[in-house]
Amino acid sequence: MIPFSKPTLGPLEHEYVAQALASGHLHGGGPFTRKCERWLEARLGCGRAIIVPSCTAALEMAALLFEIGPGDEVIMPSYTFVSTANAVALRGGVPVFVDIRHETLNIDEDLVEAAITPRTRALFPVHYAGTPCDLRRLRSIADRHGLHMDEDAAQALLSSHQGTMAGTAGHLGCLSFHSTKNVTCGEGGALLVNDPGLAARAEVLHEKGTDRSRFMRGEVDKYSWRDLGSSYVPSEVTAALLLAQLERAEELNTARQRAWDAYHEALAQLDRDGRLVRQVLPAGCKGNAHIFFVVLPTAEERDALLAHLRSRGIGATFHYVPLHSSPAGRRLGRAAGSLRNTDDLAARMVRLPLWPGIDPRPVVDAINEWSEHASRR
């Protein structure tokens, strides 16, 4: 079996978790948590990084910080995980779905301004597959219309566009450290606070709506309920595992990039022959090799390729069912214009197995086998 993804753990992860367990400090906010936050701030250049239990939690905090309320509209792609929309819908807001670009499967920046109405409060762009959107252009649109911007950078740690790190161009950014991500602690995330005006309130929301962080720093003599909030603090054991992975982030990304490059080169002939279209990176983008995807000519060929790969024990898969076509998406959100690319590409794309140390050759051999068989029919 070749799994779709596989976490890569080493001695450092075991060492740090053992240290956290031995310390007796198992609840959040300890030295490992602080080291993770400082690592992200230094490496990404964000103003403040806050470790949270998941990217979902970070997105929910973003909606709270932007004060999204009933009837407020937030522009986002339909081709994203449900958490992007849930964060808005939970506050009574309306996810407004915009079509995607066929090259990257990211939101089409050309369509964003046409989706803005007097009810629009924020943009939630998503950096699909670790490939950043046009960050400067989206932030310019947000600033021109007086909107907040939160980057769903769940898949994009250490990716950049024109030198700007994913997650740092918006007022806020959200990262994921789920077990399928390049850097993982099983379940985890981070809220990147790039707008200094949001930092103090973000700290309160993070600590269940209290000023406990100020109390722990000795700035107040007691802490109390100050605002909305929830339990957004992960355990110190989780942070210990995360710190080890962050310290190995470049190593892990480099190993993934080797596999990404091998796929890209090995599938070039099938691309030239029109059998599939390989994933590409636009000019100015530095990706992190989170996903390697291909797009088949038809949905039927996509399904046939997936069936063939699975019959060979290869864990390839498709991805999201577009949110605008889901039961909750139809009820809680709305489409801004045609979502033709979203519907079309979601039905034709395949994600190939990708993790550090994978040998792509058996996967490529199986794809070539399928193509040869299909071309003879």
The answer as to whether 5 is a domain residue is no
Write down which residue in 216, 247, 278 finishes a domain.
247
Average pLDDT, the chain: 96
Residue holding tokens 């802490």? Answer: 223
Q: Average pLDDT, stretch 263-271?
A: 98
pLDDT, position 377: 66
- Tell me the pLDDT tens digit for each residue of 110-138: 999 999 999 999 999 999 999 999 999 99
pLDDT, position 365: 98
DSSP class per residue in 17-69: HHHHHHHS--SSSSHHHHHHHHHHHHHH--SEEEEES-HHHHHHHHHHHTT--
CATH number at residue 355: 3.90.1150.10
- Pair (243, 254) in one structural domain: no
The answer as to whether 4 is a domain residue is no
- Pair (118, 223) in one structural domain: yes
The answer as to whether 2 is a domain residue is no
- Pair (263, 231) in one structural domain: no
The answer as to whether 35 is a domain residue is yes
- Pair (269, 229) in one structural domain: no
pLDDT, position 217: 84
Q: Is 181 annotated in the active site?
A: yes
- Pair (132, 167) in one structural domain: yes
- Pair (210, 195) in one structural domain: yes
- Tell me the pLDDT tens digit for each residue of 215-265: 888 888 889 999 999 999 999 999 999 999 999 999 999 999 999 999 999
Domain that holds residue 197: 11-247
Q: Average pLDDT, stretch 49-78?
A: 98
- Pair (227, 298) in one structural domain: no
CATH number at residue 63: 3.40.640.10
Q: Average pLDDT, stretch 68-73?
A: 98
pLDDT band of 213, cuts 50, 70, 90: confident
pLDDT, position 212: 87
Q: Which of 181, 194, 190 is nearest to 155 (CA)?
A: 181
Measured CA distances, 228 to 60, 201, 350 (Å) = 12, 10, 41
pLDDT, position 313: 98
- Tell me the pLDDT tens digit for each residue of 214-229: 888 888 888 999 999 9
Query: How many domains does the chain divide into?
Result: 2
- Pair (107, 71) in one structural domain: yes
Catalytic residue among 6, 181, 208, 222: 181
- The model carries a pTM of 0.96
